[in-house]
Each structure stands twice: as structure tokens, then as C-alpha cells.
Amino acid sequence: MPEIASALPADPYPRLSAATTERYRTAQPYSHAVFDDFLEPGLARRVVAEFPALASDVWINYTHVNERKFGRNDRASFPPAIGAAVDAFNAPPFVAWLERLTGIKGLRPDPSLEGGGMHQTPSGGHLNIHADFTGHPHHPTWQRRVNVILYLNEGWHDEWGGALELWNRDMTRCVERIAPVFNRVAIFNTDQDSFHGLPDPIRCPADVTRKSLALYYFTDEQQPFLVRSTEYRARPGDGLKGIAIWADKQVLRGYDKIKRRFNLDDKFASKVLGFFSRKK
């Protein structure tokens, strides 16, 4: 599907003026940008049409205190348009465009889509405020630097919630909310304190899910850096919920160490979480 690759901004000049890159790099609470109508509309609708329905045997089950969503990252099983779109986001022309936007040289995509790929969040789903894991679990020298999220939600209503919240670095307030509307791309740097999430349960109808494609980009570092699992944080006013957020984070840190030690993927944890979810 060569037309999919050509639908991405391989030529950066129409979008990346000096003003655009300056806005990205100086944005608050940390470097980020939002681009609407990112893919050709017909292509974006093909990607939406191919999104598989939720089924426990094909989706990774991320259901615990700090999140409730489903993911799928086995690229070989992706439907044609979704797979080709992911490949285009991971191809050199787009990565070069991303380097120009962010000012980060040496970005590399992740063909394994660790933690990324297709995401779906059903009604009641959420993702507590967090800063992302800092290093790739299976590539010890890869430091995570940039997230790219393509939202695929036609007819999304504001009252359903589901906006991506960007919080300031000391976690005292939400600075920006990005609605997950159709064909919108959010791009942001993943520093150790780039706090973001969708902490309130979404309220879409039962037959609707919040859909997105998530791509993560890394640099290969020669010097050691802090390797840390996802850093969840409570919001001001979360009260006793903050204790559960902290306790769940400690369990996930233990899992992350095991995952890195034994080179595991998230499918094993998904089976365990799915079992307990069904029991619940």
C-alpha cells in the first residue's frame, strides 16, 4: 500500500516552519504539538474500519488499578491498512520529519511496538496520570524520547471524556487537554516528568471504544541513563485513591524487573490480568 506511506508528512516543509518547531520545543508543560487531519481522510477511515473488535484472545489486557485499556502490538497480525500505516510511521522519512520537529537527533522507531500499536479503551476505561517507562525492556541502551499518538474516533463527544491530559512537572495542575478526535495526532517528548494520561473513566456508549495507534521512538545512548518503569502519580484531591495508585505502581515495578530480567512480553501478564478480570 504505497499510497499509505505517501499520505504521511514525508516532506516536512509544508508543516515544519521555524515557528512550528519553536512552538513545539517551548510548549508547556513540556514539548508537544497537535496536528489535525494528519492522514488523508479516506485512508484514516480505512484504518478505523479495520480495527478489530475487542476479544480477549487477541488483545493484551491492561486492567489494574492504574489503567483499564486493551492493546495489540503483534505487527505481523495487523490488518493491511493498519499495518501499512504503522510501517509508514516507523519509516525513515517520517522519523526524519520527527527529528526536525523535536530537535532530537538519532531517533529510532521500535518495530516490536513495545507498549504501543493498537489501543482501545472501553466505556469505564482510564489511564492514570503517569510518566512513561524510560528505557526499552529488550534493548538496554535505548532511551525513550518521543510519543506519537494517532486518534481514530469519528463522532467523539466531549461529554464522553477521554481527553489526553498534560500535567505540569510538579503534578499540581492539568495544563492542557487534547480531545481524541478523528485523525488527530498528538506528539510529545517523554521526559522523566512528562506526566500525562486520561485519569477519569470515559463515558462513551457500550458499543463505542476510544481507538488510537501509538508509536514510541528511542535514542541509542552510549552513556547510562535512569531506567525506570512507568511512574504513576496521584492528582491533588485523589485522597485515599492515591494509596492504591502508589501500591499498584510498586507491583508494576516488580513486574518490570522480571520482564527485563527474563525478556518477557506483556502477553503473559495479560493472561493473568484477564483471568482475574473474569473472576471479578
Which of 64-73, 150-159, 197-206, 264-273 is least confident? 264-273
- The more confident residue out of 262 and 30 is 30
pLDDT tens per residue across span 127-140: 999 999 999 999 99
Distances from the Cα of 194 to the Cα of 38, 134, 156, angstroms: 23, 11, 26
Model confidence pTM above 0.85: yes
Alpha-carbon span 84 to 2, nearest angstrom: 8
Q: Where are the alpha helices (DSSP H) in the chain?
A: 2-7, 18-26, 41-50, 80-89, 92-102, 241-262, 266-279
Distances from the Cα of 5 to the Cα of 109, 188, 203, 218, 233, angstroms: 15, 22, 34, 21, 37
Q: What pLDDT was estimated at residue 261? A: 81
Torsion of CA 57, 63, 68, 73, to 10 degrees: -50
Q: Does residue 272 register a pLDDT over 60?
A: no
Alpha-carbon span 135 to 117, nearest angstrom: 17
Alpha-carbon span 143 to 4, nearest angstrom: 28
Q: What are the structural domains, with CATH classification, of the chain? A: 2-268 (2.60.120.620)
Q: How many CB atoms lie within 10 A of CB 195?
A: 25
Q: Does residue 269 register a pLDDT over 90?
A: no
